[in-house]
Amino acid sequence: MEPDVLFDVIKQWGRDKGINNPDKQTLKLLEESGELASELCRGRYKTAEVEDALGDIGVVWIILSDILGYDPIDCLSEAYHVIEKRKGKNISGSFVKDGEC
């Protein structure tokens, strides 16, 4: 399924299910992030649980964006336009902005 179609299907699914509370969706996003962190902190990178958590994070993020009236693609695009110009360096596999290291 094309990403834009998938995003629309996910948004409609959330609407159909009556998911409309941004506070609860934020908590759900944190819950799913915690599940991902639990796997990764144990060195489990290629598991069904990691794939599930990443997918769940994406679904919750798309629905939360919709609830708040944002287009998730626009959010990603804007974030990329900010980071593409960012200066910094890689420290232990993580990008650190200039002035933060």
User: Which residues, in sequence order, are CB contacts of 33 under 8 Å at separation 6+?
Assistant: 53, 57
In this structure, is residue 15 part of a structural domain? Answer: yes
Residue 52 covered by a domain: yes
Per-residue confidence in pLDDT tens, the chain, 101 aa: 998 899 999 999 999 999 999 999 999 999 999 999 999 999 999 999 999 999 999 999 999 999 999 999 999 999 999 999 889 999 999 999 988 76
Phi (first) and psi of residue 92, to 5 degrees: 55, 40
Name the DSSP letter for residue 85: T
CA dihedral sign of residues 1, 75, 67, 27: positive
Query: Would residue 31 count as lying in a domain?
Result: yes
Q: Within a domain: residue 29?
A: yes
Domains contained in the chain, number:
1
What's the predicted TM-score (pTM) here? 0.87
Residue 88 located in a structural domain: no
Q: What pLDDT is stored for residue 99 in this prediction?
A: 81
Q: Which domain holds residue 26?
A: 3-70
